[in-house]
Amino acid sequence: FQGIENLEYLQADYNLIKYIEKGAFNKLHRLKVLILNDNLIQALPDNIFRFASLTHLDIRGNRIQNLPYLGVLEHIGRIVELQLDDNPWNCTCDLAPLKAWLENMPYNIFIGEAICETPSDLYGRLLKETNRQELCPLGTGSEFDVRMPPVPSDNGQVPSRMAPTTVAPMATRYPKSTDSSKVYGNGIVAGLPPFGRNSQIVSFQTRTPPMMCPQPCSCKAHPSDFGISVSCQERKIRNLADLIPRPPNAKKLHLSGNYIRDIGPTDFQGFEGLDLLHLGSNQIATLQKGVFANLTNLRRLYLNGNQLEQLHPEIFLGLTNLQYLYLEYNAIREILAGTFDSMPNLQLLYLNNNVLQSLPAYIFAGVPLARLNLKNNHFMTLPVSGVLDQLRSLSQIDLEENPWECTCDLVALKLWLQKLGDGVAAKEVKCASPV
């Protein structure tokens, strides 16, 4: 990055980045936005952000298992958005500092979810829902140092350092071994009564019951919450009715890369407990009224890479807990008024790479969007009144790669962008006309 020391926005997503050299960003003192999602990064080097001024960091979709406080988190005290999703987090004692740091973040900071990949007994659990004893079941690990995240002072300045808060590992006591508790080769503990006649029954009852799984798919259990992740991507599926038998407690359903064209209002019966539904890269052109109405627990919905042309309010009925909606790379040309009204918890909306030319008034009213992507559409102008001024929880907006017509009609947009604070990331809007 020699010669571009004034860089504020760096986007390097969807590459094959495996390593970041130590000191790579040392001269980028003004760097605020760093987008590294969907790469192959396994770890971040110590002090990689020490000299940057990051407010937005996106490391989703990498291979990161741990994010230490010392050397990494301690240097992002100005952060207002941190995307952690889709990494294979190793929820052991080593991740306890990250958990403690996240718990101390202010409520208005937008932070993605770290979901445990390992160990197996925590698979599928949210890191924030684990406790210290689960992360350190044997009381292993040394004391670790967790500093409270910096909180802006009255003058808006963020202190560079805070006093450390030491969290001691939970002590686990075990009974001292005695001669009366020796374990013999047959598994019987001396000094304790044998299982007796019911031992075989007890043994059978502790086995994992057979898992119900749709025949073309593979399933993986979440022992921590008894949920199931159903993987059906790229299985040449055309009809969702073929997904039988249906597991009783599916939490995640991956259906990307199939040949699905139509979805009926009863196609998700039996999947009421879904937290994530991935329908990306299919051939879906229309969605019927109330197609997701029974998915009231859904928080992530992927409809990217399909053939949708119009969005209307009836599509999203019932999605009261939805937080992330991905609609990029469709052919969406129209969004009807009230389309997002049924999603009062929606925080992230990707509409990039469509053919939108306009948005209806108050389309975002009452929707707490933190991140909105309108990149690479057909917008020539975009009103502030009734549209952009409704975005009251915004932390990032993407408007680039649109054919903006820089006339008097765009003055309001220019002023609105200029008034966005340092806590909101927005790249420069470039004029396409007049020549």
Phi and psi, residue 232, nearest 5°: -125, 20
Q: CA-CA distances (angstroms) from residue 331 to 40, 282, 339, 349?
A: 30, 13, 17, 16
Give the pLDDT band of residue 5 (cuts 50, 70, 90). Answer: confident
Number of independent structural domains in the chain:
2
Q: What is the CATH number of the domain that holds 352?
A: 3.80.10.10
The reply to whether 182 falls in a domain is no
Mean pLDDT of the residues in the chain: 82
Smallest CA-to-CA distance from 105 within 140, 132, 73, 145 is with 73
Identify whether residues 66 and 161 lie together within a single domain: yes
**Left (φ > 0), alpha (ψ -120 to 50) or beta: where does 236 sit?**
left
The reply to whether 191 falls in a domain is no
Q: What is the pLDDT of residues 314-351, one digit of tens each?
A: 999 999 999 999 999 999 999 999 999 999 999 999 99
Q: What is the pLDDT of residues 132-190, one digit of tens each?
A: 888 998 755 444 444 444 443 434 344 433 333 333 333 333 333 333 333 323 333 33
Identify whether residues 158 and 244 lie together within a single domain: no
Identify whether residues 156 and 259 lie together within a single domain: no
Smallest CA-to-CA distance from 275 within 308, 232, 239, 230 is with 230
Residue 222 has pLDDT above 70, yes or no: no
Q: Collapsing DSSP states into helix, strand and coil, what is residue 366?
A: coil
Which pLDDT value is given to residue 133? 87
Identify whether residues 286 and 414 lie together within a single domain: yes
pTM: 0.62
Phi and psi, residue 95, nearest 5°: -95, -5
Which domain does 246 fall in, by range? Answer: 215-435
Residue 76 has pLDDT above 70, yes or no: yes
Please give the share of the chain, as a percent, with pLDDT higher than 90. 57
Identify whether residues 44 and 146 lie together within a single domain: yes
The reply to whether 348 falls in a domain is yes
Residues 142, 169: contact at Cβ < 8 Å? yes
Residue 288 has pLDDT above 70, yes or no: yes
Which pLDDT value is given to residue 107? 66
Which pLDDT value is given to residue 146? 43
Which pair of tokens denotes residue 215? Answer: 């025949």
Give the pLDDT band of residue 389 (cuts 50, 70, 90). Answer: very high
Q: What is the pLDDT of residues 57-67, one digit of tens each?
A: 999 889 999 99
**Left (φ > 0), alpha (ψ -120 to 50) or beta: where does 116 sit?**
beta
